[in-house]
Amino acid sequence: MDLTSAWWFWALLSAFFAALTAIFAKVGVKEIDSDVATFIRTIVILVTLGLILLAVGKFHSPGEISTRTWLFLVLSGLATGASWICYFRALKVGDASLVAPVDKLSVVLVAVFGVTFLSERLSGLQWVGILLVGGGAVLLAVTG
């Protein structure tokens, strides 16, 4: 099996880069306003993604995109922006080792939202894992 076609390969890389994001952001936000830090980060992401799209030949007109697709991509972008603003503010005032795990309560919320709104199904064992993630984040929050 080709690793690059496995969802878990990309999810693990995402977790790795998210961890680096927390560490780099904590250091980077130390001497500037957290919203300015978020703005700089966003510019870097836009430029980097644009260069990647150019390099792989995908930077072109997206073609016909439905109104529904536009709506949900815009909503996703707004949610991402709100998340980043809140995350950087939390990093500005809190320890990265506490902020990042509490931020991962999103794992619990994604599971609940996925089941509720997307008709996804989780096994009992998967729910136990979700509860452990949630419990760990709450434990860190109340003891931190």
In this structure, are 57 and 119 located in the same domain?
no
Report if residue 83 sits inside a domain.
yes
Report if residue 99 sits inside a domain.
no
pLDDT single digits (tens) 58-84:
888 878 889 999 999 999 999 999 999
In this structure, are 88 and 118 located in the same domain?
no
In this structure, are 127 and 86 located in the same domain?
no
pTM of the model: 0.83
C-alpha 14/C-alpha 8 separation (Å) is 9
3-class state of residue 49 by DSSP: helix
pLDDT single digits (tens) 15-32:
999 999 999 999 999 999
Work out how many domains the chain is built from and give that number: 2
